Amino acid sequence: VNFTDIEGKLKSQKVPMVISLPEDDESILAAYEAYQLGYVECLFVGNPAVISQKIDRLGCAFSPEIISVSSEEEAGSKSVELVRSGRAKVLMKGNISTPKLLKAVLNSETGIKKGKLLSHVLIFEWEGTLRFLTDGGMVPHPTLEEKQEIISNAVALAHRLGCETPRTAVLSAVESVNFKMSSTTDAAILAKMGDRRQLGKCLVDGPLALDNAIALESAHHKGLFNEVVGKADILVCPDIDTGNVLGKTLLYFTQVPAGGLILGASCPIVLLSRADTKEVRLNSIRLALAAGA
Amino acid sequence: VNFTDIEGKLKSQKVPMVISLPEDDESILAAYEAYQLGYVECLFVGNPAVISQKIDRLGCAFSPEIISVSSEEEAGSKSVELVRSGRAKVLMKGNISTPKLLKAVLNSETGIKKGKLLSHVLIFEWEGTLRFLTDGGMVPHPTLEEKQEIISNAVALAHRLGCETPRTAVLSAVESVNFKMSSTTDAAILAKMGDRRQLGKCLVDGPLALDNAIALESAHHKGLFNEVVGKADILVCPDIDTGNVLGKTLLYFTQVPAGGLILGASCPIVLLSRADTKEVRLNSIRLALAAGA
């Protein structure tokens, strides 16, 4: 599966997407771009006067439904309610603060938490296939339990995007177990859980250095031969720093197509950064729509 | 490899074996039985008068060389010296106390410690093949590092006895990883170390419940399919209690041929218990000779 396949899937699907407080240029433009491509039906949650004025000023030729709210808190809870009721299939953050949006998502009574943990996945295309990098954005120092959830979220996303048995590499700096490096012992434990099918339909190996995970020749040089090495679909990072720097390196030093999602809620959440390029914005929405629809 | 193969190997080998303080009936009888079978040349270390009198009284028709010592400490250090100098290939405990013998073995200047850890292995024959159970006798609550050494000692023994690539099962009560059971997470880590060839020439899987390790049908019922399950040569117990009770169950509730050894020194150490049957005594010596020669 790659971005071209995803685009093909989305043609004229018009997936309903709610945008929480689209009162900034970036989120309105992103929604408009997706609308122009025929992918989405937009539901805006915010101040109608502010939003309409922005839409006009940006020259966007569309008039999405606007659900009126009078505060950030209300924007969060209303947006989430639209997902809960089934009216929206994807949630996108607008100008609402991330903590306020997540608070609404995680509310134990009115929220839309589905898994045990919210996690971030960067999806990028490399050698013609979507790869999933996690978690460089949500969980600072994941415990073993949290790593299990991070993998579970990524595996579920891969399945929804058409990767039936994602090859999952649990990364470390080395491919051998070293009792003094918890990234290696955690990886070994998670790999065995994969063997025992405790992580759903996927193949897991680890510890693996990044090159062992994505370059077959490099894996073979190290004497590693299995179904995961050299062909990993999912790259699981030992912590947020590793995940973040790997993701940023891909985004800023290469030209690989990429997008990001927050997983673990009942629908994918698009949480764009102001620094995201138009292509990253659109890719993130494409992925959310493909996974959420 | 089974006990018949071991016996075949030993015919008229006359391996030199030192017995430390053979001043009790059991060790003299054990040495004599092995002597009668043509397996050993005995070197006795103790009080010549006491030993000669015992030999006569027991009606043993042999006169082994007796190296005279005047204390338990001297018996320990002299016995170990005979191994260091190459005169003896196997060391057997007689009436010397276990701590005193081990102290001599472990002495950093004059001792014969070879590996990083001394460990106990019970070797038993089941379905025509020698199986290695460890550690039910030496290491109380092994850490991961100690489990690695326990496996290393058992693998080296299996190699010496002709099992080229021992299938090694790291046991727990269950075959799935459970973060609350360190026996499962340790087993997963050790299994991955086996995959990465960090444990020498062997195949490792774990966590495995005992039935998964030794009964193929049971393993298949649990959906376990690999080269180790159902056919394990080496059974690695999570702690000494588990190992001890598994070993005692085999010895007292079944008729499987069995013997025990202490590993991790430059030669195998036979450390018999008064409760050992004649067959267990002889088997232990046979195994020590076969592994040490």
Distance separating alpha carbons of residues A45 and A19, to the nearest angstrom: 6
Contact status of B182 with chain A (Cβ, < 8 Å): no
Query: d(Cα B102, Cα B232) in Å, to the nearest integer?
Result: 30
User: Cβ B188–A187 below 8 Å, yes or no?
Assistant: no
Q: Higher model confidence: residue A278 or residue A268?
A: A268
Whether B176 has its CB under 8 Å from any CB of chain A: the answer is: yes
> Is B116 in CB contact (< 8 Å) with chain A?
no
| A–B CB contacts, 8 A cutoff, strictly below | 50
Whether A39 and A61 have beta carbons less than 8 Å apart is answered as no
Helix, coil or strand: residue A182:
helix
Subunit contact B144:A198, Cβ cutoff 8 A? no
Report residue B133 CA to chain centroid gap.
9
The verdict on a CB contact (< 8 Å) between B196 and A189 is no
Please say whether the beta carbons of B281 and B28 come within 8 A.
no
pLDDT in tens, chain B (293 residues): 999 999 988 877 899 999 999 999 999 999 999 999 999 999 999 999 999 999 999 999 999 999 999 999 999 999 999 999 999 999 999 999 999 999 999 999 999 999 899 999 999 999 999 999 999 999 999 999 999 999 999 999 999 999 999 999 999 999 999 999 999 999 999 999 999 999 999 999 999 999 999 999 999 999 999 999 999 999 999 999 999 999 999 988 898 999 999 999 999 999 988 888 889 999 999 999 999 87
What pLDDT shows up at residue A170?
98
CA distance B187 to B171: 7
| Model pLDDT for residues A87-119, shown as the tens digit of each residue | 999 999 999 999 999 999 999 999 999 988 999
3-class SS of residue B111: coil
Give A-chain residues touching B187 at CB under 8 angstroms: 192
Q: Which residues of A touch B191 (CB under 8 A)?
A: 188, 192
Gap between the Cα atoms of A289 and B249, Å rounded: 60
Instruction: Please answer whether residues A43 and A18 qualify as being in contact, where contact means their C-beta atoms are separated by less than 8 angstroms.
Output: yes
Q: What is the pLDDT of residues A34-81, one digit of tens each?
A: 999 999 999 999 999 999 999 999 999 999 999 999 999 999 999 999
Q: Do B185 and A187 touch (CB under 8 A)?
A: no
Q: Is B219 on the interface with A (CB under 8 A)?
A: no
Kindly identify which residue of chain B lies nearest to residue A222, measuring between CA atoms.
B196
Does any CB of chain A come closer than 8 Å to the CB of residue B149? Answer: no
Which amino acid belongs to residue B108? S
How far is Cα A106 from Cα A113, in angstroms, rounded to an integer?
Answer: 5
Computed on alpha carbons and rounded to an integer, the radius of gyration of chain A in Å comes to 19
Nearest chain A residue to B183, by CA: A189
Chain-chain contact of B176 with A185 (C-beta, under 8 angstroms):
no
The angle at the Cα of A169, spanning A165 to A175, to the nearest 5 degrees, equals 145
pLDDT for position B13 = 82
Helix, strand and coil in chain A, % to nearest 5: 40, 20, 40
pLDDT at A33: 94
The answer to whether the peptide bond before residue B135 is cis (omega within 30 degrees of 0) is yes
